Amino acid sequence: MKNGRFITLGIETSCDETAAAVTADGREVLSNVIASQIDVHEVFGGVVPEIASRHHLTQINAVMDAAIAEAGVAWRDIDLVGATMGPGLVGAVLIGLSTAKAVAYAADRPLAAVHHIKGHVCASYLRPPASDSTGALPRITDRGPFGASVASSENFIKTPGAGMAPPHLALVVSGGHTDLIDVRSYTEYRLLGRTRDDAVGEAFDKVARVLGLGYPGGPKVDEIAKNGNPKAVGFKRVYLEEGSLDFSFSGVKTAVLNYINTERQAGREVNVADVAASFEASVVDVIAAKTRAALHSTGRRKLTMGGGVAANSMLRARMAALCADEGVELSVPPPVYCTDNAAMIACAAYYQYKEQGPSRLDTDAYATLSI
Ligand code: KG4
Ligand code: ZN
C-alpha cells in the first residue's frame, strides 16, 4: 500500500513486448514500461518465438526495475503481482509468469495469473497519466464515407475510460485474436464471436507484407491508407452465416494478392494507398456490422475496444460513429494501451484478485486458453 492505495505490479511477456507496469487501486497507471523487440524480429518479417523468449529473459529485470522506479514506489509497497498466464507464445509467457512467481514468493505477496485477453478488455478501464492520453488519439481526417459526422463523434470516445465498468460489450482485435465478448462482471466473460481462422491483426500484417510495407504491418497500413480511397477496390466482405458473430479474415490476403497480380499483368500501376484503404474498409465494415449486431442481441449500452488493431484510425473512427449512432458509450484506450502492455495486466490482476483471490504459485503458462 502507498498512501492508502492498493499497488499492483503487472508483467506482460506473451509476444514480442517485454512489459512491466504499476497501477494504484487497479486503474490508475503510475508507470508503464515497454521494451519492444520489433527491431529484433523485423529482419525475419515476423516474431520468432524462441528469440522472443530469450529477449524477455534478458530484459525483464531491467524493465521491472524501471517500472518500480518510475512509479515512485518501493518494492515493499507492492500488494499484488499480476502476470499474463496465456494465451500467447508459451515460452515467452513463461518468462513473465515465472518472474512474477519469483517476485511474489520472495516478497511474500499474492500472485494473480491473468488471461491476456481480459487484460486487453481492462485496458479500457485505465486512467493513464495525462502525458499518455493527450494527443494520443488519431486525428480524424475527412475521407470518403466517414466525413464530417466522424470528426465530431471522435469527441464521443471517452479517454481515459476511468468511469467504464461492467456490464458491457468488448471488442478485442489484436494480432492473435478477434473476439466479441459480453463482459457481465469483472470476472464473468462470455465469448459471443471469434475469428475462425486469421485474427484481424494477422490480416493487416500479411497484407502489409504483400504490399511491401514491412513489419509490423498494422501501423504501416494505417498510415499509408490515410492517403488512399477506401472505395477504390471492392474487396469481398465475409459475413459467414446469417446471425453469426464469428469472423473470417484468411481470404482477404489472397484477395489483395490476386488484385495486385491482375493489375500488374494488365500493365496497370498499383496504387498502394488505395489498396491499403480498401482492405481496411473491407475489414472495418465487417467488424462494425458484427459489433452492431452484438450490441443489439445483448442490449448492452457500453462498448470497450482493445488490442493492437484498436489503435487503427479507420476502425476507431468507424466505431466512434457507430456508437454515436446507437447512443452507446464507447471507451477506447490511447494507442499505447491498445497494443500489448503491462498496465492492462495489472488492472485485470487487481479485479481478479479482489473477486477470486490469489492464483497458486504452480499455475502453468498456456499457449491457448479459453476466456
Ligand atoms: O495486441 P497486440 O499488441 O498483440 C497481440 O496480442 O496480438 O496486437 C498486435 C497487432 C499486430 O498485428 C499489429 O500489426 C496490429 O496489432 N496493429 C495495428 C495497428 N497497430 C498495431 N493494426 C492496424 N492499425 C494499427 N494502427
Ligand atoms: Zn495482445
Q: Hunting for cell 469472423 — which residue is that?
A: 247
Q: Rounded to an integer, what is the distance from CA 294 to the centroid of its chain?
A: 19
Asked whether residue 77 is domain-assigned, the answer is: yes
Query: What is the pLDDT, as a whole number, of residue 306?
Result: 95
> What pLDDT is recorded for position 32?
94
Q: Are residues 249 and 117 in the same domain?
A: no
Strand ranges (E), 288-359: 302-306, 329-331
Q: Are residues 149 and 184 in the same domain?
A: no
Q: Quick one: how far is CA 31 from the chain centroid? A: 18
Can you give the pLDDT at residue 78? 98
Residue 320's closest CA among 311, 337, 332, 306?
A: 332
Q: How far apart are the C-alpha atoms of 110 and 335, rounded to whole Å?
A: 30
In a domain? residue 364: no
Cell numbers of 354, please?
479482489
Which stretches does DSSP call E strand in the chain? 7-12, 17-24, 28-36, 80-86, 111-115, 168-173, 178-183, 189-194, 302-306, 329-331
Same domain, 52 and 195: no
The answer for 304, left when phi > 0, alpha when psi is -120 to 50, beta otherwise, is beta
- Regarding whether 272 and 255 lie in a shared domain, the answer is yes
Domain that holds residue 45: 7-159+336-356
Alpha helices in 90-146 (DSSP H): 90-107, 116-122, 130-133
Q: Is residue 132 part of a domain?
A: yes
pLDDT at 152: 30
Q: Is the domain of 142 the same as that of 176?
A: no
Nearest bound ligand to CA 307? 1
Q: What is the whole-number distance in angstroms between the Cα of residue 339 and the centre of ligand 1? A: 6
The secondary structure of 66-106, three-state, reads: HHHHHHCCCHHHCCEEEEEEECCCHHHHHHHHHHHHHHHHH
Residue 370 is assigned to a structural domain of this protein:
no
Q: Which residue ranges have their beta carbon within 6 Å of ligand 1?
A: 15, 174-176, 201, 204-205, 216-219, 222, 307-309, 311-312, 339-340
- The CA distance from 363 to 263, in Å, is 53
Q: CATH no. for residue 303? A: 3.30.420.40
Atom 18 of ligand 1, nearest CA residue:
218
Residue 44, pLDDT score:
80
pLDDT of residue 36: 81
**Is residue 1 situated within a structural domain?**
no
Q: Identify whether residues 115 and 182 lie together within a single domain.
A: no
Mutate to test the pocket of ligand 1, among 220, 313, 339 (most ligand atoms within 8 A of CB): 339
Q: In this structure, is residue 208 part of a structural domain?
A: yes
Residues of the chain with pLDDT under 50: 134-159
Domains identified in the chain, total number:
2
- C-alpha 78/C-alpha 346 separation (Å) is 11
Closest C-alpha to 63, from 86, 31, 102: 31
CA 288 – ligand 1 centroid, Å: 18
The residue assigned the cell 480498401 is 278
pLDDT of the residue at 163: 80
Which 3 state secondary structure label does DSSP give 20?
A: strand
Task: Pick the ligand that lies closest to the CA of residue 311.
Answer: 1
CA distances from 250 to 207, 210, 237 (A): 11, 14, 12
Are 296 and 164 contacting, i.e. CB atoms less than 8 angstroms apart? no
The CA 174 to ligand 2 mean position distance, Å, reads 6
Q: What pLDDT score does 161 carry? A: 64
